[in-house]
Amino acid sequence: SIVAGDFDEDGDDDLVVLTLEGRVLFVAGEGDGSFASPDTIRSLGSTNNTRIVAARFGDDAHLDIALSLEGRDQVVVLFGDGNGAFLQSATFFINDPIGLVAGRFSGGDSELDLAVVSREDRTVTIFEGDSGDFDEGNTYAISSSSEVLSSGIATGDFDGDGDDDLVALNRRIQTTGADENAVILFGANNGVFAVGPSYDVGFGPNQVEVADLNRDGLLDLAVASSRIFSATVVLGDGTGGFGTPASFPAGGNPLDVAIADFDANGAPDLVAVNQPSDSLTIYLNTCNCLSPNQAPVVSGATAFAQQGSPAQSFLIATASDPDGPDDALTARVLEPTTFSISGIVNTNGVFTADVAAACATPVGMNDVFIEISDGCRTTTATLQVDVTANTPPIAPNSASTTVPFGASFSEVLTPLPSDNGTFTPSLVIMPDSFTGSGDYDPMTGVVTINDAGPVDDYSASLTLTDQCGLQTEATYGLNVVPATTQVVVNGPARTRVNTPTPYSFELTVAAPGAGAPTGTVTLSSGSTTCQVSVPTATNTCELTFDFLGPRTVSATFASADG
């Protein structure tokens, strides 16, 4: 850990460094960007997760340092003498101190106090400065979740009442979740704090710094969000509230952030300290906001939507920028997520978008929050969306038909199906002894049955399921009857005979739509008969006639399945 300050009071910034071995080093600055060799001013023993702050504690004007030694359960204050030496010290104990910050928290005097965050206890404790000593004050719980450990802490007047407030971080032990957050503690300059709301600051928050990052006169947060490998910026609204986090990729796993004007343009920049890459990521501030900047003036609108229906275009908000052109304003949807609001267009401050409600969106009037930004400050508009319930699909009328065994046919079912959104058709023919197939085309309304059979009465159920899960069913009666088999008999030419003579007959057997029938054809004329099984290579049958005169020949087909 490292901190900068003019500890020897020569007008040049110096450094105090705490090594992993627990040595406190003083490194004098030369004023030209170079530094003298380090001097060891104290050995505290091996520790980890140490934080250092520089401040003027006590009743003198010399710059001091305070260190939170997590591995030692100690906070150590080293009092400077103005010459780069730290001869006196104060030590007090607190469980697992992960961070600390100096400020005027107790009031009543001009001495600085300390606020210390306990990692395991998930608390913030105030230690009131008292002439070089510190008296333990109130302790505040900042999380009740056993899944988190507290981490960084910082101070600032977030609500503009002139009193120092605090912000402390909670980080989940293993996974990410909603209980990873920044908790605001509102101070009253009397040693008492009110634990306020918590805010999303990205996953894996390690450390936090405070500054007016967008130059609107209001304090913002910069957070090292290690689990998303980013530095996260959260803009303050001046009342103690904070907006939606904006994350900027880092060069690794950021453990810490710091704020300074690295390019000397008057705007605060960020630097993230990354592991395991052992690198720094510099973020130059490109905000060109006026100071002070006025927030956009906005008004909401009303839109209409039906659950699961396609999006429709509506006016969602109107806005004006007191400091700049209205068409430069931008908008984004904050919540809820059960709406789809896309294609936002700003036409001189008139914002339109495509609005759609999800299936789970509550019926009735819903508030959707739209954040309007001029790039520096934001104002939230409320879009009220009146949501009506999803309706089930409209299916064709029920019908019935008769079809010969083995035949295929198509028929148009009316009316055509429809829905307020999308739907999926399903055609099921029962009982499942049906060996054919069926299909339904919702675009044309045509139902197609192929190879109907075997002979039986069936029910074809057409089910339409919409995008929200509502269903409508139409029943189509399907009666499969035996196919009408045609037997064509071609006999021989007439001849005159005096003796019994065999005559050969050619047979053609067909059942329309059923393919080649299988069975037996019997030809008979009086008591004379012959049989042939079909299909065969040659469907011929012989009858023998033994007397003169006309003959009547009948043909009977018996199918193989009865």
Same domain, 39 and 98: no
Residue 495 located in a structural domain: yes
Q: What is the pLDDT of residue 251?
A: 79
- Beta bridge partner(s), residue 304: 386
3-state secondary structure 377-420: CEEEEEEEEEEECCCCCECCCCEEEEEECCCCEEEECCCCCECC
Q: pLDDT 10s digit of each residue in the chain, 562 long? A: 788 889 999 988 888 888 877 888 898 988 887 888 889 988 887 777 678 899 998 878 899 999 998 888 999 999 999 999 988 888 999 999 999 999 989 876 678 999 999 999 999 999 998 877 899 999 999 999 988 999 999 999 999 998 999 999 999 887 766 678 999 999 998 889 999 999 999 888 999 999 998 877 889 999 998 888 889 999 998 899 998 888 888 878 888 888 888 777 778 888 888 888 778 788 888 776 666 668 899 999 999 999 999 999 999 999 999 888 899 899 988 777 778 899 999 999 999 999 999 999 999 999 999 989 887 777 889 999 999 999 999 999 888 899 888 888 899 999 999 999 999 999 999 999 999 999 999 999 999 999 999 999 999 999 999 999 999 999 989 999 887 777 788 877 666 666 777 888 887 777 655 556 778 888 898 888 988 887 765 678 888 877 667 788 888 888 776 6
CA distances in angstroms from 6 to 63, 126, 492, listed in the order given: 7, 26, 130
Q: What is the pTM of this model?
A: 0.55
* Residue 373 domain flag: yes
164, part of any domain: yes
Using the 3D structure, point to which of 249, 272, 292 is the last residue of a domain: 292
* Alpha-carbon gap, residue 270 to 234, rounded angstroms: 13
Cβ atoms of 339 and 370 closer than 8 Å? no
Specify whether the backbone of 72 is left (phi greater than 0), alpha (psi in -120 to 50) or beta. Answer: alpha
Domain CATH number, residue 321: 2.60.40.10
CB 7 within 8 A of CB 63: yes
CA dihedral 378→380→383→389, nearest 10 degrees, is: 110
Q: Are residues 470 and 516 in the same domain?
A: no
405 and 495 inside one domain: no
The pLDDT of residue 286: 77
Q: Sign of dihedral through CA atoms 487, 493, 499, 501?
A: negative
Q: Are residues 369 and 309 in the same domain?
A: yes
Domain-located, residue 446 = yes
Q: Are residues 348 and 263 in the same domain?
A: no
* Domain match, 413 and 473 both: yes
Bridge partners (DSSP) of residue 275 are 253
Nearest to 117 by CA among 72, 168, 184: 168
Angle (nearest 5°) at CA 185 between 135 and 373: 150
Which residues, listed in sequence order, are joined to residue 418 by a DSSP beta bridge?
Answer: 394
Instruction: Report how far residue 36's alpha carbon sits from residue 538's, in angstroms, rounded to the nearest whole number.
Output: 116
Q: Are residues 438 and 370 in the same domain?
A: no
Decide which of 150, 167, 199 is a domain's last residue: 199
- Range(s) of the domain holding residue 517: 486-559
Residues 234 and 312 in one domain: no
Same domain for 85 and 98, yes or no, is no
Q: Are residues 472 and 490 in the same domain?
A: no
End of a domain among 65, 91, 117?
Answer: 91
Query: Which is it for strands 399-404 and 471-481: parallel, antiparallel or unpaired?
Result: parallel
Provide the phi-psi class of 337: left if phi over 0, else alpha when psi is between -120 and 50, else beta. alpha
- Residue 394: inside a domain, yes or no? no
Question: Does a structural domain hold residue 103?
Answer: yes
8 A C-beta contact, residue 72 and residue 46: no
Measured CA to CA in angstroms, residue 275 lies from 69, 250, 252, 253, 390 at distances of: 21, 10, 6, 5, 51
- The CA-atom distances, in angstroms, between 219 and each of 166, 187, 212, 272 are 12, 15, 4, 19
Q: Do 473 and 520 fall within a single domain?
A: no
Q: Report the domain count for the chain.
A: 6
Q: Give the per-residue SS3 of 114-153.
A: EEEEECCCCEEEEEEEECCEEEEEEEEECCCCCCEEEEEE
Tokens (6 digits) for 321: 């920028």
So what's the pLDDT on residue 276? 80
Integer-rounded Cα radius of gyration of the chain = 44
In a domain, 206, yes or no: yes
The tokens of 451 are what? 């190879």
One domain for residues 219 and 266: yes
Task: Report the phi/psi class of residue 204: left, alpha or beta, with left for phi > 0 and alpha for psi in -120 to 50.
Answer: left
